[in-house]
Amino acid sequence: MSTITRFAPSPTGRLHVGNIRTALHNWMLARKAGGTFILRIDDTDAARSREEYVDAIKADLTWLGLDWDREERQSHRLERYEDAFTRLKDAGRIYPCYESAQELEIKRKIALGRGLPPNYDRAALGLTDAERAEKEAQGTPAHWRFLLDHEEPIAWNDGIRGPQKFDAAQLSDPVIRRAGGSWLYMMPSAVDDIDMGITQVLRGEDHVSNTAVQIQIFTALFAAGFAAQESAAKKVPCFAHEALLVGREGKLSKRLGSLSSDALCERGIEPEAVIALLARLGTSQPVEPIADRSTLVASFDLATFGRAPAKFNEEDLERLNAAIVHQLDYTAVQARLPDGMDEAGWHAIRPNLARVDEAGEWWRLVIGPIDQPEFSEDDRSYLAAAAAALEWGSDPWGALTAALKSSTERKGRALFLPLRQALTGMDHGPDMGELLPLIGESEARARLTRAAAQ
Ligand code: GLU
């Protein structure tokens, strides 16, 4: 059976590092197995879903290089939900309720006051047909709950958390449909997982109790003959729940929640750095600046995931980013480099960058104009000697410094620094051996002569 995974964002905002991580792991799971990765847009909530977020989510995934094999939209699948609903209702697994939000809140408080879990008391199950008709006649439309089977044990072997068990009697019958007829997340997601033949559901551990409920929805749908389609899964998918991502302070910070891919991009973070970090954060595998994602895919293994929250640290990301930038090929960055900067230029400058868009600052040392510092008289005569000694061969910097070392008393800093300052205007920077050929013979001689003549 081939692996089919899905990433199911609700288009109510941009992706942030937490859900980028979920997307990435589902993508890796599918790619490692040579399977299918589905992008499912959970847009049943018409009031909160926005088309611009659908576009932004797709743009973010594209920026990250997380390609999807198929796109599905929940808003296009309402007939399927209607079918599932009818079947479950006919099977007695869905029942109408009429409590207002305030009534439910009071029930909740009473239960909590008695030290009981704040679960729905199933009062609506006891309504007679006449009482229901009266509610409807009074203008209170029904909302709908799924009837959990308290006798049916809920268990699964979680791909990360190991064996899990839930007592259905400890859970609340979930509302699956609002009074206006719109859908809540719980049932459509299970319907989709069946119809799309999802083999593995990998998501955050905030969904563990949803899984317990959804397992009963799956089995109720199978029992009601729902999975009739050819492509449909015939069994409950494998579930895995990963520990949540937290900030350095150990909490899911607001800042982390809003750290979106456009914010990362603006800060000069490469998608490969995001991928390298999130692929392994929270696993027993070392986070390393691996720019080749096939290496990350090959080593991806749910068994290496820990149960402790994964700590996301922005400084780690920046460090990783610099290390990734130092590996990027010219072709990968060409379009983002200053005009005229060629492959040799990129190679010379790359080791000095924390982010690609700093390349322009260093490239200015090559194309000029540069600001030279003031030199002492001694340095000026040294630089005049340098201008005279300059010879253009395969390694002009090596030749120049070797010649000056033997013709002057200078060595170390005194030998190198005035040359670097005269040639670049800076005290530090890219390797001069690589930079000098880029500056070129006549410009280099002009800079040395200008410094000598100050
Ligand atoms: N739309 C849901 C969410 O973003 C999907 C959860 C799931 O993966 O089933 O939380």
Nearest ligand 1 atom, CA 7: 8
Q: Name the DSSP class of 244.
A: P
Cα 304 to Cα 16, 245, 275, 283, 301: the distances in Å are 23, 16, 17, 5, 6
Residue 237 beta carbon below 6 angstroms from any ligand 1 atom = no
Summarised one tens digit per residue, pLDDT across range 351-365 is 999 999 999 999 999
- Mention every residue, 6+ apart, whose C-beta is less than 8 A from residue 131: none
Residue 203 beta carbon below 6 angstroms from any ligand 1 atom = yes
Mean pLDDT of 23-43: 98
Spacing, Cα 436 to ligand 1 middle (Å):
55
Tokens encoding 188: 């459509």
Residue 241 beta carbon below 6 angstroms from any ligand 1 atom = no
Residue type, 393: G
Q: Are 304 and 285 in contact (CB under 8 A)?
A: yes
Instruction: Evaluate if residue 402 carries a pLDDT over 70.
Output: yes
Spacing, Cα 242 to ligand 1 middle (Å):
13
Classify the C-alpha dihedral 206-208-211-212 as positive or negative. Answer: negative
Summarised one tens digit per residue, pLDDT across range 184-208 is 999 999 999 999 999 999 999 999 9
Residue 195 beta carbon below 6 angstroms from any ligand 1 atom = no
Residue 42 beta carbon below 6 angstroms from any ligand 1 atom = yes
Residue 31 parent element (H or E): helix 17-33
- Cα–Cα distance for residue pair 189/180, rounded to 1 Å: 19
Summarised one tens digit per residue, pLDDT across range 258-290 is 788 888 999 999 999 999 999 999 999 999 999
Q: Are 147 and 94 in contact (CB under 8 A)?
A: yes
Residue 8 beta carbon below 6 angstroms from any ligand 1 atom = yes
Residue type, 195: D
Nearest ligand 1 atom, CA 19: 4
Instruction: Evaluate if residue 253 carries a pLDDT over 70.
Output: no
Domains recognised in the chain with CATH numbers: 245-325 (1.10.1160.10), 367-452 (1.10.10.350)
Q: Name the DSSP class of 338.
A: P
* pLDDT score of 132: 96
Query: Which residue's CA is minimally distant from atom 6 of ligand 1?
Result: 8
* pLDDT score of 248: 78
Residue type, 100: S
Mean pLDDT of 80-90: 97
Q: Is 288 left (phi over 0), alpha (psi -120 to 50) or beta?
A: beta
Spacing, Cα 381 to ligand 1 middle (Å):
71
* pLDDT score of 196: 95
Q: Which percentage of the chain shows pLDDT scores above 90?
A: 90
Summarised one tens digit per residue, pLDDT across range 235-251 is 899 999 999 998 877 77
Instruction: Evaluate if residue 451 carries a pLDDT over 90.
Output: yes
Instruction: Evaluate if residue 254 carries a pLDDT over 80.
Output: no
pTM: 0.91
Residue 204 beta carbon below 6 angstroms from any ligand 1 atom = no
Long-range contacts of 180-184 (CB under 8 A, 24+ apart): 180/141, 182/44, 182/45, 182/46, 183/44, 183/74, 183/78, 183/81, 184/44
Between helix 441-452 and helix 412-424 the angle, nearest 10°, is 110
- Cα–Cα distance for residue pair 67/27, rounded to 1 Å: 8
- Cα–Cα distance for residue pair 358/411, rounded to 1 Å: 31
Query: Which residue's CA is minimally distant from atom 3 of ligand 1?
Result: 9
Q: Are 392 and 441 in contact (CB under 8 A)?
A: yes
Spacing, Cα 8 to ligand 1 middle (Å):
5
Residue type, 341: M
Residue 23 beta carbon below 6 angstroms from any ligand 1 atom = no
Query: Which residue's CA is minimally distant from atom 10 of ligand 1?
Result: 9
* pLDDT score of 234: 76
Spacing, Cα 420 to ligand 1 middle (Å):
56
Spacing, Cα 186 to ligand 1 middle (Å):
9
* pLDDT score of 417: 98
Of 22, 42, 48, the one to substitute when testing ligand 1's pocket (max ligand atoms within 8 A of C-beta) is 42
- Mention every residue, 6+ apart, whose C-beta is less than 8 A from residue 234: 222, 227
* pLDDT score of 231: 64
Average pLDDT, the chain: 95
Residue 10 beta carbon below 6 angstroms from any ligand 1 atom = yes
Mean pLDDT of 104-132: 95
- Cα–Cα distance for residue pair 445/386, rounded to 1 Å: 9
